[in-house]
A and B are shown apart, each in its own frame.
Chain A
Amino acid sequence: MKSSLIIFAFFVAGILAGLSGVIPSGFDWDKIGGYALYILMFLAGSSIGSDRNSWKVLATHNYKIIWVPVTIILGTMVGAALVSLVLPSLTLRESLAVGAGFGYYSLSSVFITQLHSHSLGVVALLSNIFREVATLLITPFLVTYFGKLAGIASGGATAMDTTLPVISRYSGKEYAIVAVFSGIVLTILVPFLVTFILTI
């Protein structure tokens, strides 16, 4: 929660800087952002690879747990696809790409900005922040009506860190492990899925 506020503050500061006209006109975001993205990808990759939990959880749990992220991916894609039917301004591809952020707003928004457009990047940022915040707020309700996997599903990639405390509190500690596993799988898949959806 705190980290999403900080990130959002940086984003808003950027908008204000852009609006105020202090940015020189020769500023080429795509070029600078492109290089910065490579650095980010490398750092994100090594942070995933060096986290022992990523691999331990995979090795020690039985097959059932695999179905959790698979189900979340399918459900998210179906839900996002339906939204593109309701909102004619969004194409199926755009809606799926934003949904495939699974709450991982920082990476997905940067990716979508580079691969598609600035405006869809902003949609991805806001939409995925909203997914995280909504999960923090409604997990108790979701768990009551849709079972103990509901908070994990709603949290998506954030189930491994920011929304883990609330999931563990309302679904129980034994589901915290499931949450971490599902969150890690989704986090790793975000860049691959977003790229896949936007380039096929």
Chain B
Amino acid sequence: MISILLVLTTGILVGLMTVRKPRLHRINNHLLNWSIYLLLFLLGISVGTNEEVIRSLGKIGYEAVAIAIGSIAGSVLFSGLLYRFLFKKK
């Protein structure tokens, strides 16, 4: 998976070199949106054709909600401590 991170880093560098080209950014953002749509559509197809995933969709949804709640609760509690000790104006 190093190759993926290399592609990402190359992208960041190309972005840095084209900071002064706003038209390119607009095109890039359009392409980015559509490639995300395409990938999620493809992911949907692979889910729809995968009987095992379809059968366990209930379990998947349940796990998804549990992880989201855990992540939100953990980060919010930690940020509460940080706020009290470093940000709050006394």
Residues of chain A at the chain B interface (Cβ within 8 Å): 3, 6-8, 10-20, 23, 27, 29, 32-33, 36-52, 64, 67-68, 71-72, 74-80, 82-83, 86-87, 89-90, 95, 98-99, 102, 106-107, 109-111, 113, 115, 118-119, 121-128, 130-131, 134-135, 142, 146-150, 152-154, 156, 191-192, 195, 199
Q: Give the shortest distance, in Å, between A20 (CB) and chain B (any CB).
A: 8
Q: How far is the CA of A102 from the CA of B25 in the complex (A)?
A: 24
CB <8 Å contact, B78 and A125 = no
Q: Give the shortest distance, in Å, between B65 (CB) and chain A (any CB).
A: 6
CB <8 Å contact, A119 and B53 = yes
* Dominant SS among interface residues on chain A: helix
Q: Give the shortest distance, in Å, between B46 (CB) and chain A (any CB).
A: 4
Q: Which B residues are in CB contact (< 8 Å) with A67?
A: 82, 86
Q: Which A residues are in CB contact (< 8 Å) with B41?
A: 10-11, 13-14, 17
CB <8 Å contact, B83 and A148 = yes
Most chain-A CB neighbours within 10 Å: which of B7, B28, B31?
Answer: B7
The 5 closest A-B pairs by CB, nearest first: A14-B44, A18-B48, A45-B11, A79-B74, A49-B15
